[in-house]
Each structure stands twice: as structure tokens, then as C-alpha cells.
Structure 1
Amino acid sequence: MLWGLIPYGDAVFNHRQVSLLLAELDRLPAACGGDWVGQARELCQVVEQGSHRYLWFVGD
């Protein structure tokens, strides 16, 4: 799912895709980690906790 993120475009993940995104975050090498990983996990959890929620990444 991370391949869908590009700096200049938007990406939207639904509740089914968020679980795949979380699995990919678990497999990230330590060198690619940082605060952003924890923040992304928190946002994914918000999407999973309700219906009709989406995770949007907005490019420039």
C-alpha cells in the first residue's frame, strides 16, 4: 500500500486497505522508521474504529 503514496498526489485508503497498510508498516526496515510510523498507525486505528472512514494522504 505504501507504493501508492506519491509526494505530489493524493492517496485514499479505506478500512480494508488500512489493515494492509498496517502490515506493511510492521515490515518496514528500522532505517525507514521514525515518528511518522507511529502517527500513521494512530490514524489507521481511527479508520478501523468506525464505519465510513478513510485515511487520506494529500500531496502538495
Structure 2
Amino acid sequence: MQVRGDSGDVIARAEGGVEWTSAFGDLNPGLFPMLWGLVPYGDAVFNHRQVSLLLAELDRLPAACGGDWVGQARELCQVVEQGSHRYLWFVGD
């Protein structure tokens, strides 16, 4: 996970990444539209308005999908919210 600016420069990054489990496939896209968009092999980008929705989803994320990455994602969401033209990137393999 990274926060990037408009020019693609990396402003902040997480030490780890999402710990993919089969539980991600069980997420209801109606209840978790932001997280449901994540895939382990592709990139996903969230803008300033979307990170607030992502934070709400992280609050109710099932324990089976949790891990250290959740706290790191929260921190990066705050970095996005604290500046303009910043985006949270989930970088796939």
C-alpha cells in the first residue's frame, strides 16, 4: 500500500500488504464495495472521497480478513485526507 501524489511520487508507504485469505471472497459487495474492489493481482486506487468510505468498511471488517495491514491502511488513509491530490494505492502482484 502506498500514498501517491498526482505525479505518481510516493508520499508514504506501508511496511506490509493485505493478507489475502479466502474470506475476502465472501465479502458482500453491497456492504463492502471499496474492499470488494481489491484483488491480489491488480492495483486499486482510492481518492480523497473514497478513503472515508474505506475507513468505515475497515471498522466493520470481519476478523478473518484482518491483520496488521488494517492499521497500516488506516494510517495511509489519514495521509490522503491530510493533503490534496493524494491517492491510496493498493498495489497488486
TM-score, shorter chain, exceeding 0.5:
yes
Cα offset, 1:30, TM superposition? 2.6
The percent identity for this pair of structures is 98
Cα shift readout 1:2-29 (whole Å, capped 9, x = no counterpart)? 0111011110000000000000000112
Q: Which has the higher strand share?
A: 2
Structure 1 outlier segments of 4+, above 4 Å = none
Uncovered stretches (5+) of structure 2, i.e. residues with no partner = 1-33
CA–CA distance in structure 2, aligned partners of residues 16 and 9 of structure 1: 21
Larger relative contact order (C-alpha < 8 A, sep ≥ 6)? 1
TM score, norm. by length of structure 2: 0.61
Deviation at 1:31, TM superposition (A): 3.1
**When you count helix as a share of all residues, which structure comes out higher?**
1
Structure with the greater alpha carbon radius of gyration: 2
In structure 2, what is the equivalent of residue 8 of structure 1?
A: 41
- Once the two structures are superposed, residues 12-59 of structure 1 have per-residue CA deviations (whole angstroms, 9 ceiling, x without a partner) of 000000000000000112332221110000000000000000001111
Aligned residues: 60
Q: Which runs of 5+ in 1 are unaligned?
A: none
What is the alpha-carbon root mean square deviation over aligned residues?
0.8
TM-score for both structures, normalised by structure 1: 0.93
